[in-house]
Structure 1
């Protein structure tokens, strides 16, 4: 039996910074401002009969400005390196290769699809409904009452293998001939990429579909031998 790890939120408060800090101005910036004040004072108090060479001012100012710009560039690169190697990137990399359970279409590539279902206690029969990427029903199969899992073998209602693509699943619950409800069913999909958009983590699943990480209800190892 495959063990899964339920999760309530993919972006928990523990994974976010609890406080922010104010960046202090660098010593070089402070020195640059002092340098400008000194140049200004020197220009105001120079001897009118023997004025200072303006080209020297320009050269010194340009050199100091270049040094300051280089230091700021290095600081920006350091911040970027820290971000890429920090906790957020570690959090993203942890998703890659795992299989996540969510109410989302499954990518079918010839391998039977495992579906997670939630029994309806008021129903006395349930039917799994399979739809293709266009929303058309391609198969219906009876489910064991009270079961929490089902397998679709990739065949349509006539027993013909379906093409590779995305398929969605739902469960119709009946009491006698009365339809009580039709509930979307969750499937496991392998994560191939994880992205950050603002405060959201976006998971790209095998086959290209994207879901929000907070929609994930369970995670399991992506090792085929553990299936």
Structure 2
């Protein structure tokens, strides 16, 4: 049996174990011992079937052992990294547990339940005119009003353009900056919402807010005590 072919086969087998390990830690834990036993069997067969007149050089055996040892170490490293990742996620959630019950500010839709919503617009500093465009959960425009060209918080009372009250639900707020009567920039306004839960989704820490809205923690720009 050719030593180069054996080495190639062993590398492929061991690399497969490492790939499996990077996918799930539970699978990798079983893959390493299984592939190590396969490696020993293949090595034994190789030694039994070598040509006695032209035996395999000991250096080839050393290469095969080093190859498998390296990949086996990669498997173990993957297991350790997966474990550390899980611990860091839980640690981060524990630290953010104190956010529950407070109000976080971010560019996100707001849950309207009848009480006015405080909005933090950030228009262009040199805008000639600024408008606030309010849309419902379906993206339908509810109202468009002119607001001051500043970052001072404003109150939205929850009414349409004609003054009619809007129903309970989620609403988004776009701040449109205009120059010479033309829109030059549109930004989603920031607002505060009470944090009701902290959870992990897809490796990210997510805040659950009033009404069920969610926002990633790295999108939060301010935090304050609930009013």
Partner of 2:110: 106
The CA distance in 1 between the partners of 2:219 and 2:151, in whole Å, is 23
**Aligned partners of 1:214, 1:191: CA distance in 2, in Å?**
14
Mapped pair 1:130 → 2:134: yes
Question: Could you tell me which residue of structure 1 aligns to residue 163 of structure 2?
Answer: 159
Deviation of 1:88 after TM superposition, in Å, equals 4.3
Q: Secondary structure in 2 aligned to 1:92?
A: helix
Q: How does 1:1-227 map to 2 (within 5 A)?
A: 87-88=91-92, 90-197=94-201, 199-222=203-226, 224=227
- Cα RMSD (Å) of the superposition? 1.7
Do the aligned partners of residues 89 and 130 (structure 1) sit closer, same or farther apart at CA in structure 2, a change above 3 Å counting?
closer
Separation of aligned partners in 1, 2:168 and 2:150: 30
Q: C-alpha distance in 2, partners of 1:117/1:89?
A: 29
Deviations 1:175-223 (A, max 9, x none): 131211111111111111111236421111100011111111111111x
Rounded to whole Å, the distance in 1 between the matches of 2:218 and 2:117 is 23
Task: Name the count of aligned residue pairs.
Answer: 139
Say which SS state the counterpart of residue 165 (structure 2) adopts: coil
Aligned partners of 1:180, 1:93: CA distance in 2, in Å?
Answer: 40
Distance in 1, Cα, partners of 2:222 & 2:210: 17
TM-score, with normalisation over the residues of structure 1?
0.57
Q: Residues 89 and 149 (structure 1 numbering): CA distance in 2 closer, same or farther, change over 3 Å?
A: closer
Q: Report the alpha carbon displacement of residue 119 of structure 1 after superposing the two structures with TM.
A: 2.8
